[in-house]
Amino acid sequence: MTGYYDYVLGLIPAALIGITAFLNLVGLSLTAALPVGAGIALALMVHAMFIKGPVIDPADAPNGTTGDGPSPGSSAPAHGSD
């Protein structure tokens, strides 16, 4: 099953190479087209990491943990305590 992050991983090189090549073909120099293509690829990565970032569904996490600290009932010390 193909998900959002699979599409993002495919679009990163496609945006970098494809947009750079397209802008170069329509007359923009390579030194000007490459940063535009890289900027689009960077925007895709930022969106995937920070706007629609990966999260752990508590129902899918092992033993009910979410990765944000010790699970309830564990003997591990809380964050910031000595």
Environment class of 12 (CB within 10 Å of its CB; exposed 0-12, middle 13-18, buried 19+): middle
Confidence of residue 74 (pLDDT cuts 50, 70, 90): low
Assess if residue 34 is contained within a domain.
yes
Q: What is the pLDDT of residues 1-52, one digit of tens each?
A: 788 999 999 999 999 999 999 999 999 999 999 999 999 999 999 999 999 8
Assess if residue 74 is contained within a domain.
no
Assess if residue 59 is contained within a domain.
no
For residues 72-82, average pLDDT: 59
Assess if residue 14 is contained within a domain.
yes
Residue 55 has pLDDT above 90, yes or no: no
Burial 44-68 (b: 16+ CB within 10 A, else e): beeebeeeeeeeeeeeeeeeeeeee
Question: What is the number of domains present in the chain?
Answer: 1
Assess if residue 9 is contained within a domain.
yes
Give me the domain span that covers residue 46: 4-54
Assess if residue 82 is contained within a domain.
no
Q: How far is CA 55 from CA 3, 18, 23, 68, in A?
A: 14, 30, 36, 11
Assess if residue 63 is contained within a domain.
no
